[in-house]
Amino acid sequence: MLTADQYLDSLRQLNFKLYLFGEQVDNVVDHPIIRPSLNAVAKTYELAEEAQYKDLMTAESSLTGKRINRFTHLHQSSEDLILKVKMQRLLGQKTAACFQRCVGFDAFNAVDSVTYEIDKELGTEYYKRFRTFLKRVQEEDLVVDGAMTDPKGDRSLRPFQQSDPDMYLHVTKRLKDGIVVRGAKAHQTGALSSHEILVMPTVAMGDEDAAYSVCFALPSDTNGIIYVYGRQSCDTRKFEEGSIDMGNCRYGGHECLVIFEDVFVPWERVFMCGEHQYTSALVERFAGYHRQSYGGCKVGVGDVLIGAAALAADYNGAAKASHIKDKIIEMLHLNETLFACGIACSSQGGPTASGTFLIDLLLANVCKQNVTRFPYEIARLAEDIAGGLMVTMPSEKDLRHPEIGAYLEKYLKGVNSVPTEDRLRILRLIENMTLGAAAVGYRTESMHGAGSPQAQRIMIQRQGNLDQKKKLARIIAGIEKE
């Protein structure tokens, strides 16, 4: 396994074609806007080296028998699924940000089981190719971006009906030695933190959508792949001197629009090409795994936000007020409910035909449906407890100013025993997590990540077995016999 420093050095060897603020960026690793997100991924390597986290952060590979980073593992039991959620909570606690390896992790497990079923039924070699790819990922401890979301264009039209066929990534040519693809993947979390991109279809496809039914992996700096960095609220604070106004002074996350401009993919890296009838299973399983993930990562970040809100109450001298205590209890209740959902869908998981374990899809969608709501309430309560200074306080430069700094030290103080700077740092952290750059990975991603709320509701309806529930009622009411 790699160390954190080795991981960062490995990214320096990649040649991304990246645009940020209208300029091409050559040095991804040391750019002040990007570096906090790389630090968050590096934490997944750092913790894997610590003996106290060995059981959470590492696993024994089912492919090689070697000890590997859990983020490259195929789930072999319900216990593996539970450990995944606990690991994600730990990393959320340590970074208070998106640590970006979950999407690729979830993609591995979905692609593994689906390619096994394609090969078994159609006699293809996708499963063999995929496991060869994953074995290398495990042995080299790589970060992989799981790329599913397409721009989609007109949502009322199927992929093949779009006026611009590139609104969904698709195959443009089939060659003797591979395929050529064109299109884009949007909102790609951790794209620049990744060594590889694992591309999947974004929706269930029909007969006419065969060209869009494609799954493959490529090195992230492959010729023809272009990255455009996504803006985040308050992101230019990372250019400023000092660390108070950043809120989270070390970690962060990022998203990119990833453009594929006639990119060649060799056949040995293609894991689906035209088998549209299997796209539904791939999308459902990946979404299920990723919706499970939110019962861990968002809970860990929530732990930090709850702690920050409690500290703000302490520093304001309001911690003993009954309404403050009640609000913190509510935050704890909501956060632990999310964790309970993540553990529940994991404990009820079972093996697929390939042997890789799948979560309970119904409970995973219930988990994510709650995630679309509870973090918003937790954030609202944190803002309530913090008070208005969270969004009106002057800058760190004013605090450090030789003339007016003393006034800020005096008038922005809370309880006498706490330094003014400590109070301001906690308020900036809450601002960062609820309104600033980190809010992308906590609030807004809680809504749209792993699919919109309606996507989960559709799956809950599909998986809820309403006919069976009606039958139970008819039996109890005496309408039919048991």
Q: What is the dihedral of CA 470, 476, 478, 481, to 10 degrees?
A: 80
Q: CA-CA distance, 39 to 251, in Å (whole number)?
A: 6
Residue 46 a catalytic site member: no
- Tell me the two tokens of residue 482: 């048991």
Q: Residues 75, 116, 290, 352: which is the catalytic one?
A: 290
**Helix ranges restricted to H, 2-161:** 4-12, 35-48, 54-57, 78-95, 102-122, 126-140
Q: Residues 7, 45, 227, 255: which is the catalytic one?
A: 255
- Tell me the two tokens of residue 233: 């609220």
Helix (H/G/I), strand (E/B), else coil: 225 = strand
Q: Residues 256, 297, 341, 367: which is the catalytic one?
A: 297
Residue 289 a catalytic site member: no
Q: Residues 7, 294, 315, 442: which is the catalytic one?
A: 294
Q: Residues 102, 215, 256, 273: which is the catalytic one?
A: 102
- Tell me the two tokens of residue 354: 């390939």
State the DSSP code for 266.
E
E strands of 175-266, at which residues?
A: 178-189, 196-199, 214-219, 225-229, 255-266
Residue 121 a catalytic site member: no
Q: Residues 58, 149, 189, 202: which is the catalytic one?
A: 189
Residue 189 a catalytic site member: yes
- Tell me the two tokens of residue 368: 């994510």
Q: Residues 58, 75, 98, 126: which is the catalytic one?
A: 98
Residue 290 a catalytic site member: yes
Residue 297 a catalytic site member: yes
State the DSSP code for 126.
H
Q: CA-CA distance, 281 to 402, in Å (whole number)?
A: 63
E strands of 333-481, at which residues?
A: 350-351, 357-358
* Catalytic center residues: 98, 102, 189, 255, 290, 294, 297, 445
